[in-house]
Chains A and B, each alone.
Chain A
Amino acid sequence: MATLDKKLDRRSFLKVSALAGGGMVLSFSWLAGCKPITEEELLAMPKEWFELNSYIKIGENGAVTLFSPNPEFGSNVKTSMPMILAEELDTDWKKVIVEQADFYPERFDRQFTGGSQGIRQGWKPLRTAGATARAMLVAAAAKTWNVSPTEITTSAGVLEHKGSGKKAHYGEMASLAATMELPEQVTLKETKDFKIVGSSKKNVDAQKIVTGKPLFSIDHKVEGMKYAAIVHPPAFGMKLKSFDKSSIAGMSGIVDVFPIRLFKEDYERNFFDTTTFPEILAIVGNSTWEVMQAKKNLAVEWENASESSFEVGGFGGRPNTKVTVLSGLENTNRHKEQMKEFITKPGNVVRRDGDPEGMFKKAAKIIEKTYSAPFLAHNTMEPMNCFADVKGDKAVIYGPTQAPEMIMGTLVQALGIPKENIQINLARMGGGFGRRAYSHHMTEAALISQKIQAPVKMVYTREDDMTAGVYRPTYSATYRAALDENNNLLALHVKAGGIPESPIHANRFPAGALDNYLAESWDIPSNITIGAFRAPRSNFIAGAEQSFLDELAEVMDKDPIEFRLELLKRAEINPVGENNDYDAKRYAGVLELVREKSNWNTPATGVHRGVSAYFCHNSYVAEVVDTKIVDSKPVVEKVYAAVDCGIVVNPDAATNMGEGAIVDGIGNAFFGELAFENGVPTKTNFDKYRMIRQKETPKSIEIHFVDSKEDPTGLGEPFFPPVFAALANSLYKATGKRYYEQPFAPQLEMQNLKM
């Protein structure tokens, strides 16, 4: 086999015939409900498929199936990743059938949805896979027509040799193409020649979604399947002591109740093995309602857990860390006190440029502000659930996961089944936001199924979901600015931390733009579990930083956009320090674009505006929020966003993503909050945990993409962090009060505003 690229050659270009379990991956596609449904579609199905590589198979009639490798949680990768394949394959998008790939690391690279990296890291492999398949089709046509491949052109799934006037659609050449050698090199298209990438394509699952087809694992059912509910300790810091099986004996439809343990003693956990309760109870029965009823009646005794510690494998090649889970029942009031103590305590210096301490000593004026935000629950719309069928030494797991490869090892140890015998199928997820990178629910379902040796669907109640941990941490950040008597900025100091992690990104803006800069970090251990939440850390620190810069601009009597641009100019022309991890020019670019698109200097009457900008996940976003007070109610009239994320694969879907992230940010800024009393989360469902709804949504949102030829970067996350400050800065203009503490709604209510 010719070499193309060692990694691609091994992983992505294996021919299906050479794969032992080759049939398996395809046979599970029905699980995701991807079977053709209409008669028309059935008629269009080919008699035979020819696989050109892991991602692409072509039928003799010209139909093209593209496998979307990554799990879909709503960011629309199931449409946009195949679009990239289709572009380089040069096929007709209308003839494409998209199938969700199952977890199959031998065939697909990086089947991980998170960190806004799907398109960025999939860009090259997907383009190469598409272009390679195209080259093989061209080679097949060249052989058949006895002409040089360089004389063959392709367009929308048709091969053509202009000299002889010969034409064929891909299906006619597919069987021969599948036997061709892999080309040593392939040429990728020039971006100017893109036809599919950059043009909006509808969500490939839209029809199924709007007609209620089973797409999610919670919808899955097989013959003989049992239903399971879980019961977990009521508080962080507690564990199972005992339970009384007889308390639910005789209840209708109840089969069994038993404890399950997620980790064997000697198992070394990986970074995504975060779970709050390593031992829980499972109730198994004949229907969801029956197990949920039994859940209410089950008599359980809990006890305080003692301190424990274990090693956790580092993520992305980082060293292992030792994690200590404290004993005790924690309280939000105490957390707040603990965080306050750090305002005056020294932190760990993570960056120092120039002589910030000296500047603060000689400053004519010092401005100091502290910002904070609470724990947040992810609250994915589809509660945690999973289907598992474990019999003997074989397991099939079908569930919502962002990170299948991170749970495989966990399943192997928990079940004692080799990984070759564990099949993980990827369900569409009813939201993820980071939560489903932690796939303990898969292990739980698998253990339950193994115990009963029957297929089972385990479903969390909303209350289980909201109180099972893996939250966005609570954070606090104190910003200080030293000014001279003319209000020139001499130095900036940020000291930020959280429970249990710090939100600081040491080398991000405004580092690099200031001669004298100091960043300190701290953290406070806790037994409340945390995990990635849409733009981890950035989702807090952006709000603090961009609110402070706004306040600073006001003191310095500068326009807030102009002030940021001045700092960015400095960072561009003469950056301070090393390792600044942003491109100041692109950063400034989005601010300029949002200034233009929002007519920044001429807002509509009665409208109060705030601006904010942030860089994360390799993308730059600036946002302007317009608010109005209508009948004593703050109303978000309009949000303008400008984003630089390189080439935009699917503009309308990208816009949808941006709108969603902005709504998410406004919702969490106004309402998001989870507190604790004696280790117990104070909110357990949407009656208390307020989510943004239709009425609080901005009346309109305008998203503008910087026209770019750069390779694509992150999109799902970068829109989120800047909203918090853009909203706070706008509300300040509307009410005359700064908002330092999230959520904002309680403070707005104290100002006699209606929320």
Chain B
Amino acid sequence: MATFNLTINGTSQQVDVDPSTPMLWVLRDHLDLVGTKFGCGIAQCGACTIHMNGNAVRSCQLPVSAAEGASITTIEGLSEQGDHPVQKAWMEHDVPQCGYCQAGQIMTAAALLQQNPNPSDEDIENAMNGNICRCGTYTRIKAAVKTASQNL
């Protein structure tokens, strides 16, 4: 066990956990930020995607020890009112089915648009390919990313 000082959604947080604990479980079990989801635990599904210093990372592979000092954003902190252009586009296109993968999809999309505000179809496919949606909402995801890019 060790103490870690983290900056999550702009707030300083302290946790006392094993240094190997992935951020996924620090967020979910210790900080009650459960919007970040567990899907595979091996960086294959993207359900656990968060932002570290603005980049999309898989929190299931990010040990808490490596997150110290970084600025972490989770789905809960993507916008204050739930009105990030990506979130709004997701609602406009009524993307979710079960909804379980969507926080990860949204975080990946938001990071993509941060870096590339005008992605081509191919850019979107490449960026979003790491996020599985078992319900198959991919065509809506793609359309929503395009809508969001127009409303940045």
Contact = CB atoms under 8 A, between A and B. Distances in A.
Contacts of B128: 694
Q: Main SS of chain B's interface residues?
A: loop
Given A213-B35, A382-B37, A692 B91 contact: no
Contacts of A652: 94
B40 to A, nearest CB: 5
A381 B133 contact: yes
Given A381-B135, A686-B42, A207 B101 contact: no
Interface stretch (A268-276, A579-587, A695-703): A695-703
Contact of A206 (B22, B33, B90, B101): B90
B3 interface: no
Q: How large is the interface on A (under 10, 10 to 19, 20 to 34, 35 or more residues)?
A: 35 or more
B72 interface: no
Contact of A203 (B21, B33, B94, B101): B94
Interface in B52-97: 74-76, 78, 82, 87, 90-91, 94-97
Contacts of B35: 211-214
Contact of A288 (B25, B37, B124): B25
Interface string A648-685: 00001100110111111001000000000000000001
A656 B135 CA distance: 9
A215 B137 contact: no
A430 B100 contact: yes
Nearest to B39: A381
Contact of A692 (B37, B97, B101, B136): B136
Interface string B101-124: 111001000000000000000001
A691 B132 contact: yes
A262 to B, nearest CB: 24
A738 interface: no
A252 B17 CA distance: 10
Interface in A559-576: none
A461 interface: yes
A379 interface: yes
A380 interface: yes
A219 interface: yes
A358 to B, nearest CB: 46
B139 A212 contact: no
B139 A211 contact: no
B103 to A, nearest CB: 5
Contacts of B32: 221
A462 B132 contact: no
Nearest to B89: A210
A471 to B, nearest CB: 15
Q: Which of B82, B130, B136 has the most chain A CB atoms inside 10 A of its CB? A: B136
B134 A698 contact: no
Contacts of B95: 656
B142 A227 contact: no
A722 B42 CA distance: 33
B90 to A, nearest CB: 5
A660 B132 contact: no
Contact of A215 (B17, B90, B99): B99
B129 A660 contact: no
A206 B94 contact: yes
A529 interface: no
Given A211-B35, A381-B132, A660 B97 contact: yes
Interface string A330-342: 0000000000000
Contact of A694 (B17, B18, B75, B131): B131
Interface stretch (A41-49, A72-80, A311-319, A478-486): A72-80
A231 interface: no
Interface string A51-64: 00000000000000
Interface in B12-44: 17-18, 20-22, 25, 28-30, 32-42, 44
B36 to A, nearest CB: 7
B127 to A, nearest CB: 8
Contact of A383 (B39, B90, B136): B39
Contacts of A357: none
A145 interface: no
Contact of A462 (B18, B21, B39, B142): B39
Nearest to A211: B82
B137 A660 contact: yes
B38 A289 contact: no
B41 to A, nearest CB: 6
Interface in A405-464: 428-433, 459, 461-462
Interface in A350-380: 379-380
* Best-buried of B20, B42, B130, B134 by chain A (most CB within 10 Å): B134
A716 to B, nearest CB: 10
A642 interface: no
A212 B74 contact: yes
B86 to A, nearest CB: 8
A693 B129 contact: yes
A210 B34 contact: no
A431 B125 contact: no
Contacts of B4: none
Contacts of A663: 136-139
B100 A289 contact: no
A463 B60 CA distance: 15
B138 A288 contact: no
B94 A685 contact: no
A428 B99 contact: yes
A382 B32 CA distance: 18
Contacts of B30: 287
Contacts of A252: 1, 18
B45 interface: yes
A227 B25 CA distance: 12
Nearest to A215: B99
B132 A686 contact: yes
Nearest to A694: B128
Contacts of A249: none
A124 interface: no
A374 to B, nearest CB: 18
A637 interface: no
B47 interface: yes
A687 B126 CA distance: 17
B45 A73 contact: no
B42 A687 contact: yes
Given A206-B94, A213-B35, A218-B38, A700 B132 contact: no
B31 to A, nearest CB: 11
8 contacts: A205-B99, A214-B34, A289-B29, A379-B134, A382-B37, A382-B100, A428-B98, A431-B134
Given A289-B21, A382-B39, A431-B134, 18 more contacts: A74-B99, A205-B99, A209-B96, A209-B102, A210-B82, A212-B33, A212-B76, A212-B103, A379-B134, A431-B100, A459-B38, A656-B94, A656-B137, A656-B140, A663-B137, A687-B42, A694-B124, A700-B139
